[in-house]
C-alpha cells in the first residue's frame, strides 16, 4: 500500500519538476534573499558548522527566516562531485511550498516562519542497513572522492504549519567544516526516496517511517 502511495506521489511531483527547475527566478523566491528575519529563537547555533547537525540547523534557520543566503552558507563553498549548489535551493523551496499547498490547510506561499526543528533521528532507525559495514565503506569511498574526511546521512524532524516533516541529507566533513552536499543522499537511496522529493518526507508519509517507534525514545533533541 505504501508503495502505491509513493508511486502516486512521485508522479505528481514529476509533473512539477520542470517548473521547479526555473523557480529560482520566481519573484517570491527572489524576495527571500533580502526579506529574511534575523532572530534565531528556538535554534541552537554552533558557529563554523563544526558538526553535521550545525550545518542542518543553519540551513533550516535560513528556510524559517526566508533567507536563501543563510541556507547557501550550509552548502560547500566549492561544490565538488555533484554536490548541491545555491541553484538547488530554489528547487527545494518551491518543492516544500508545493507540499504545503498539497498536504496542509492553507498557508501563505513561501511563508515558513512557523518552522520549528524538533530534533534529529539516527539514520539506522529508518533503515538498519545504514550502519552496516558495507554501507559505511560506501560512505567512506564517496567522501574520499569528494575530498572530504567523512560523509554521513542526517535525519531532521521539523514542524511546519502544525505538521511534521522529515528532511534527509548527506553532510560532509571538509577539514573540520561540515557542509550539506546532497538531498536524500545515502540513506535516501536505502529508503528508495525519489530525487524529485529533495530529501523531504511530507506529513502524509511520516508515520510510514516513524509510526512504529516511540518518538521520544528515538528523537535526539537540540
Q: What is the largest distance, in Å, between two alpha-carbon atoms of the chain?
A: 46
pTM recorded for the entire structure: 0.81
What pLDDT shows up at residue 41?
42
Q: How many helices (H) and strands (E) does the chain have?
A: 10, 6
Inform me whether the pLDDT recorded for 136 exceeds 90: yes
Cell of 220: 535526539
Residue 104 is given by DSSP the state S
What pLDDT shows up at residue 101?
79
pLDDT in tens, 155-178: 999 999 889 999 999 999 999 999
Q: Which DSSP string do the residues of 31-84 spell out, in sequence order?
A: HHTT------TT----TT--SHHHHHHHHHHHHHTT-HHHHHHTS-SS--TT--
Mean pLDDT value across the chain: 82
Cα dist from 59 to 30, 56, 177, 179, whole Å:
17, 5, 14, 10
Q: How far apart are CA 92 and CA 115, in angstroms?
A: 15
Amino acid at each position: 500500500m505504501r508503495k502505491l502511495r509513493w508511486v502516486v506521489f512521485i508522479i505528481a511531483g514529476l509533473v512539477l519538476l520542470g517548473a521547479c527547475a526555473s523557480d529560482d527566478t520566481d519573484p517570491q523566491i527572489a524576495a527571500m534573499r533580502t526579506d529574511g528575519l534575523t532572530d534565531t529563537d528556538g535554534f541552537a547555533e554552533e558557529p563554523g558548522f563544526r558538526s553535521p547537525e550545525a550545518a542542518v540547523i543553519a540551513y533550516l534557520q535560513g528556510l524559517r527566516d526566508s533567507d536563501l543566503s543563510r541556507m547557501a552558507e550550509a552548502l560547500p563553498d566549492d561544490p565538488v562531485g555533484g554536490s548541491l549548489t545555491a541553484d538547488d535551493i530554489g528547487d527545494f523551496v518551491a518543492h516544500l511550498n508545493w507540499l504545503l499547498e498539497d498536504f496542509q490547510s492553507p498557508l501563505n506561499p513561501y511563508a515558513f516562519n512557523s518552522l520549528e526543528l524538533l530534533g534529529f533521528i539516527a539514520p539506522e532507525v529508518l533503515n538498519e542497513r545504514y550502519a552496516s559495514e558495507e554501507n559505511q565503506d560506501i560512505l567512506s569511498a564517496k567522501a574520499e572522492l569528494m575530498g572530504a574526511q567523512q560523509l554521513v546521512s542526517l535525519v531532521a524532524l521539523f514542524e511546519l504549519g502544525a505538521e511534521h516533516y522529515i528532511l534527509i541529507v548527506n553532510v560532509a566533513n571538509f577539514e573540520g567544516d561540515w557542509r550539506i552536499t546532497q538531498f536524500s543522499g545515502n540513506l535516501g537511496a536505502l529508503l528508495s526516496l525519489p530525487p524529485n522529493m529533495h530529501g523531504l518526507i511530507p506529513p502524509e508519509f511520516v508515520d510510514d517511517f516513524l509510526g512504529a517507534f516511540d518518538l521520544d525514545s528515538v528523537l535526539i533533541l537540540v
